[in-house]
Amino acid sequence: MNLSSKQIINWIFINYGLFVLAFFTLGFMSENKSVAIINFVLDMILCVVSIILNVKLFSAKYKTPIAGKIGLMLVTLCFGLFTYFAFLMPENGLPAILFS
């Protein structure tokens, strides 16, 4: 699939929006463990897709400024770490959602 750098960046931002929307929308219904698992899987899929798009954006074919590429990659990695922190890490002061 040949995407321009603008299309890749648009898809990355769409993924960010879906991540935030899914995390908070499904997060309010997290009393049910199956909803929490679905939320986790959806967030991880969005993070993986964003990382793939970011790696593709780092190709020399795309003339996006390096600061923009690095910034998008850092935001994506922060979303991934946030997902890990919120769902899997029991030392965060909150119970690990997936293991409770």
For the chain, the domains span 5-99
CA-CA distance, 27 to 35, in Å (whole number)? 8
Measured over the CA atoms of residue 74, residue 63, residue 8 and residue 61, the dihedral's sign is negative
| Residue 46 φ/ψ, nearest 5 degrees | -65, -40
The answer, as to whether pTM is greater than 0.75, is: yes
Kindly tell me if the per-residue pLDDT of 8 is higher than 80: yes
Average pLDDT, the chain: 84
CA-CA distance, 47 to 49, in Å (whole number)? 5
Q: For the chain, report the end-to-end CA distance as a whole number of angstroms.
A: 41
pLDDT in tens, 51-88: 999 999 998 888 889 999 999 999 999 999 888 887 77
Tokens standing for residue 4: 């321009």
Residue 73 has what pLDDT? 95
